[in-house]
């Protein structure tokens, strides 16, 4: 069996419903949106996972780990919304925000 080392719960991508069970909602799709907007904000030069983590944590006052941000970048890369331009360096694809809006509509 394999388990995650740790998971961060930030109010920007998690909401907890307490009832008979604790359910975590939102998660990776919300985090992908946050990361994509950060990549678009940094323009064509791209940004590293470390820069994105620092930028998002300062901007939203939260505690994402580099693993959280890296997973979101990998998911966005599979969807072809960001492209890898170097080791752990990504930049947003042209029209990425519009494409993400379409993905978000389908997901809901």
Q: Is residue 9 part of a domain?
A: no
Overall number of domains in the chain = 1
State the DSSP H helix or E strand holding residue 47, giving kind and residue range, or none if neither: strand 47-48
Phi, psi values for residue 81, rounded to 5°: -95, -25
Domain that holds residue 94: 14-107
Phi, psi values for residue 97, rounded to 5°: -65, -40
CATH of the domain at 55: 1.10.10.10
Q: Is residue 2 part of a domain?
A: no
Q: Is residue 18 part of a domain?
A: yes
Q: Is residue 19 part of a domain?
A: yes
User: What does the pLDDT look like over 47-71, one tens digit per residue?
Assistant: 999 999 999 999 988 888 898 899 8
Q: Does the structure show a pLDDT above 80 at 6? A: no
Can you give the pLDDT at residue 63? 84
Torsion of CA 25, 28, 29, 35, to 10 degrees: 130
């Amino acid at each position: 069996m394999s388990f995650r080392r740790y998971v961060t719960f930030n109010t920007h991508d998690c909401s907890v419903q307490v009832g008979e069970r604790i359910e975590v909602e939102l998660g990776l799709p919300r985090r992908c949106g946050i990361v994509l907007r950060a990549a678009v904000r940094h323009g064509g030069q791209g940004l590293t996972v470390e820069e994105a983590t620092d930028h998002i944590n300062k901007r939203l006052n939260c505690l994402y780990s580099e693993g959280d941000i890296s997973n979101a970048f990998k998911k966005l890369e599979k969807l072809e919304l960001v492209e890898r331009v170097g080791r752990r360096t990504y930049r947003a694809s042209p029209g990425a925000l519009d494409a993400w809006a379409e993905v978000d509509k389908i997901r809901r």
